[in-house]
Amino acid sequence: MLLSGISWAHWMPSAENAVLILMGVNVGVFLLWRIADPSFMRRHFMISLDNFKSGRLHTLLTSAFSHSDTDHLITNMIGFYFFGSTISNLFGPAFLFKLYAAGALTGSAFFLLDKAFLAPRKQANVGWDNSRVSALGASAAVNAVILLQIFLYPRHLVYLYFFIPIPAAIMGAILIGADLWRVKMGHGQVSGSAHLGGAVVAALVWTRISKGWI
């Protein structure tokens, strides 16, 4: 094999391009929602217990590139661009790709665990078929990226709603607190459990960085 002596780093995009590539995939799947059969998209670009039990394991990852709503896409991509650019410049594009994938997969796993074990016990969800409840979006992956930067630089200022400067640690507390509340309250439009999966990834990666393991 002639590739044995070639460094994989040679094939990696720049830090900035890595962010744009991931954003481009999200935009591409968003456009696919406009032209493809909706049932195909639900089977292959949304996470649910039904999809998981049917063997469509790829949805653990593909759902994290999937948005059917414009506002959802824009919100996620704005956060990812600003925080992802910092992480990619600090640790390299390969690190960003791995962090995004880890946040996506863990977020999907947390979502499924919530629907399988926690949601059925909540009074608000009695009679609700949790196997068919589905989710999509990059939020868990983006959460991993945003919170990792917050854990690394808790005293840096970030701008809430682009205008209000607050310490990053406060923003992190707001994000995690809101998701814990969502999990406690049960059924809602936003999956706190999936977001918390991204937060767990960020915490684990931050711990490894702090100990010099990365």
Predicted confidence (pLDDT) per residue in 43-63, tens digit: 999 999 999 999 999 999 999
Helix axes 168-185, 192-210, angle to 10 degrees: 140
What mean pLDDT comes out for the span 125-137? 68
Q: Is the pLDDT reported for residue 126 higher than 60?
A: no
Ramachandran category for residue 127: left, alpha or beta (phi over 0 → left; psi -120 to 50 → alpha): left
Q: Is the pLDDT reported for residue 1 higher than 50?
A: no
pLDDT confidence of residue 6 = 44
Tell me the whole-structure pTM to 2 decimals: 0.88
CB-count exposure of residue 139 (10 Å: 0-12, 13-18, 19+): buried
In a domain, 111, yes or no: yes
Residues classed as catalytic: 139, 195
Average pLDDT, the chain: 88
pLDDT confidence of residue 138 = 96
* Phi and psi torsions of 167, nearest 5°: -60, 140
Q: Are 140 and 108 in contact (CB under 8 A)?
A: yes
In a domain, 3, yes or no: no
In a domain, 2, yes or no: no
In a domain, 4, yes or no: no
Q: Is the pLDDT reported for residue 69 higher than 60?
A: yes
Better-scored residue on pLDDT, 104 or 211: 104
Domains in the chain, number:
1
Q: Is the pLDDT reported for residue 192 higher than 60?
A: yes
Range of the domain at 55: 11-211
Element (H or E) spanning 139, and its range?
Answer: helix 139-152
Confidence of residue 10 (pLDDT cuts 50, 70, 90): low
Q: Are 147 and 198 in contact (CB under 8 A)?
A: yes
- List CB contacts of 155: < 8 A, sequence separation 6 or more: 167, 168, 169
pLDDT confidence of residue 44 = 96
Distance (Å, whole) CA 171 – CA 149: 11
The CATH code of the domain that includes 158 is 1.20.1540.10
pLDDT confidence of residue 164 = 85
Q: Are strands 157-160 and 164-167 parallel, antiparallel or unpaired?
A: antiparallel
In a domain, 6, yes or no: no
Spell out the SS3 assignment of 44-97. HCCEEHHHHHCCCCCHHHHHHHCCCCHHHHHHHHHHHHHHHHHHHHHHCHHHHH
Confidence of residue 5 (pLDDT cuts 50, 70, 90): very low
In a domain, 62, yes or no: yes
Better-scored residue on pLDDT, 204 or 130: 204
What mean pLDDT comes out for the span 120-137? 64
In a domain, 5, yes or no: no
Q: Is the pLDDT reported for residue 2 higher than 50?
A: no
* Nearest CA among 100, 36, 97 for reference residue 68: 36
What mean pLDDT comes out for the span 190-212? 92
